[in-house]
């Protein structure tokens, strides 16, 4: 049975392929080399902004890295896009984010904190969340993982 590649293994393989040391990659993405080692060994998951910086530095797909870092979100991202009616889809992720944060009643109903909004905003930068429902589903994952 073929085993899927882990986030750490993918990052390490690509780093080595590019001839980068952990120190050089750490300098490029603005963290300590020990943090790179922790991520590559699977002992830590990178934050969303760090994940994006690593994807850029290593020339890897952000979506694939996100799903490797957060496999529990696969059903939300993949499943949600197939069943979403086109008429309800905001034209861009920026519009989806604006729609979500401007719905004060929704934010109050789900007791969304400023810290959670900050995390969700970072997630919106990845460009794959297109509805308020998806933001809420991811918020639920964040809360259960904490």
pLDDT digits (tens, 9 = 90+) for 53-102: 999 999 998 888 888 888 877 777 665 544 444 444 445 777 888 888 88
Please tell me the total count of domains within the chain: 2
Q: What is the pLDDT of residue 67?
A: 86
Q: Are residues 50 and 98 in the same domain?
A: no
* pTM for this model (two decimals): 0.55
pLDDT of residue 4: 63
Residue 133 lies in a domain: yes
Residue 83 and residue 141 in one domain: yes
Quick check: is 1 in a domain?
no
- Whether 102 and 114 map to the same domain: the answer is yes
Q: CATH no. for residue 28?
A: 1.10.260.40
Of 49, 69, 89, which residue constitutes the final position of a domain?
A: 69
pLDDT, position 91: 54
pLDDT of residue 12: 95
Task: Give rounded-to-5 percent helix, strand, coil for the chain.
Answer: 70, 0, 30
pLDDT of residue 59: 92
Q: Are residues 64 and 96 in the same domain?
A: no
* Same domain (yes/no): 45, 98: no
Q: What is the pLDDT at residue 146?
A: 59
Mean pLDDT value across residues 43-48: 90
Q: Give yes or no: residues 56 and 91 share one domain.
A: no
> Are 52 and 98 contained in the same domain?
no
- 113 is a domain residue: yes
Q: How many CB atoms lie within 10 A of CB 2?
A: 4
pLDDT of res. 14: 93
Note whether residue 77 is domain-resident: yes
Q: Which of 42, 69, 96 is the last residue of a domain?
A: 69
Residue 39, pLDDT above cutoff 80 = yes
Closest by Cα among 91, 24, 28, 92 to 57 = 28
The answer to whether residue 137 sits within a structural domain is: yes
Q: What percent of the chain has pLDDT over 90?
A: 35
Pair (139, 108) in one structural domain: yes
**Whether pLDDT at 20 is above 90:** yes
Q: Is residue 16 part of a domain?
A: yes
Query: Which domain, by its residues, includes 109?
Result: 72-145
**pLDDT of the residue at 1:** 42
Instruction: Say how many C-beta atoms besides its own lie within 10 A of residue 94's C-beta.
Output: 12
């Amino acid at each position: 049975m073929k085993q899927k590649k882990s986030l750490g293994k993918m990052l390490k393989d690509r780093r080595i392929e590019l001839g980068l040391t952990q120190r050089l990659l750490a300098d490029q993405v603005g963290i300590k080399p020990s943090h790179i080692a922790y991520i590559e060994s699977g002992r830590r998951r990178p934050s969303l902004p760090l994940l994006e910086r690593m994807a850029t530095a290593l020339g890897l797909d952000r979506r694939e890295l996100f799903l490797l870092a957060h496999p529990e979100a696969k059903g939300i991202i993949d499943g949600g896009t197939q069943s979403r009616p086109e008429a309800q889809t905001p034209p861009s992720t920026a519009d989806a984010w604006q729609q979500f944060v401007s719905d004060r009643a929704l934010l109050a109903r789900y007791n969304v904190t400023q810290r959670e909004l900050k995390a969700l905003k970072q997630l919106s930068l990845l460009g794959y969340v297109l509805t308020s429902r998806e933001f809420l589903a991811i918020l639920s994952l964040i809360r259960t993982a904490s």
